C-alpha cells in the first residue's frame, strides 16, 4: 500500500516519501496516541485498513500471525511466541488499542508488552507474576467466585461465608490488594 505523500507518519513517526493521505474517521477514538500530521507511511497504512486487527484479539511474531479466541488468551499470555512478538487483546472490538504497540515490540518472553482495548497504555507483563495470578484466579473460579467479584476484589458476604465454611479464606486474602491491578484484570478476563 504505497502512495506519493511525503511527511511524518502519524502512526510510527518515521519520515516517508511513499505514504498515503491519512484520512481517519470522525469516530477515531485513539487519535491521542498518534503523531501530528496527515500522512500514513507504507508500513503503517495496512494497520488501519484491516478491520479484524481491531475487531479481534491476535498474536504476531516473525513466524506467525494468528487470531485468538477468548478461550485461547490464557495460553497466549503464558506461552508467548519467540521474540520479537506482539499481543493484542480486545473485549469490545471497537478501539485501535493495538496502535500503541507500534513502538512497543516485545523482545523478552518473561517481560513483555501487552496491548488491550480496555487500558489506554500497553501493560508491561511479568510472566512469573502472571502465572502466580493465574493459579489463584483458577482456584477461586473453581470455588464458584464470580468474575465481577474477582475484578474488584470486593467479595459478597455469601462468598466470604462460603470461604470460611470451606476453609479457603486465605485465597480471598491473597487477592485483597489486587482490585484494580491491571495484570490481575487481564488474568480474570482470561480464565474460564
Counting residues that bind Zn ion (by CB under 5 A) gives: 5
**CB of residue 95 to Zn ion, shortest distance in Å:** 19
Half-sphere CA count of 85, side-chain side, radius 13 A: 23
Q: Which of residues 3-42 bind Zn ion (CB under 5 A)?
A: 9, 11-12, 41
Question: Nearer to Zn ion by C-beta: 44 or 175?
Answer: 44
Residues listed for the chain:
192
Per DSSP, the residues of 6-31 read: EEEBTTT--EEEEEEE----TT-S-G
| H runs (alpha helix) in the chain | 45-49, 52-55, 73-78, 127-142, 147-152, 157-166, 169-174, 182-190
Cell numbers of 17, please?
516519501
Q: Does 44 bind Zn ion (CB under 5 A)?
A: yes
- Closest to Zn ion by CB, 9 vs 175, is 9
* Closest to Zn ion by CB, 44 or 77: 44
Nearer to Zn ion, 2 or 71 (CB): 2
Minimal distance in Å, beta carbon 37 to Zn ion? 10
Which residue ranges make up the site for Zn ion (CB under 5 A)? 9, 11-12, 41, 44
Amino acid at each position: 500500500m504505497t502512495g506519493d505523500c511525503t511527511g511524518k507518519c502519524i502512526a510510527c513517526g518515521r519520515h516517508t516519501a511513499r505514504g498515503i493521505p491519512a484520512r481517519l474517521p470522525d469516530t477515531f477514538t485513539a487519535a491521542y496516541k498518534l503523531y501530528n500530521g496527515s500522512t500514513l507511511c507504507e508500513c503503517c497504512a495496512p494497520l488501519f485498513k484491516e478491520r479484524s486487527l481491531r475487531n479481534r484479539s491476535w498474536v504476531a511474531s516473525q513466524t506467525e500471525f494468528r487470531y485468538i479466541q477468548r478461550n485461547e488468551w490464557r495460553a497466549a499470555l503464558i506461552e508467548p511466541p519467540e521474540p520479537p512478538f506482539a499481543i493484542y487483546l480486545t473485549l469490545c472490538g471497537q478501539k485501535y488499542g493495538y496502535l500503541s504497540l507500534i513502538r512497543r515490540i516485545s523482545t523478552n518472553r518473561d517481560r513483555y508488552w501487552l496491548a488491550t482495548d480496555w487500558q489506554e497504555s500497553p501493560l508491561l507483563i511479568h510472566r512469573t507474576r502472571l502465572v502466580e495470578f493465574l493459579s489463584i484466579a483458577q482456584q477461586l473460579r473453581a470455588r464458584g467466585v464470580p468474575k465481577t467479584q474477582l475484578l474488584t476484589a470486593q467479595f459478597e458476604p455469601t462468598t466470604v461465608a462460603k470461604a470460611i465454611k470451606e476453609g479457603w479464606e486465605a485465597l480471598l486474602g491473597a487477592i485483597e490488594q489486587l482490585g484494580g491491578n491491571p495484570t490481575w484484570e487481564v488474568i480474570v478476563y482470561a480464565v474460564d
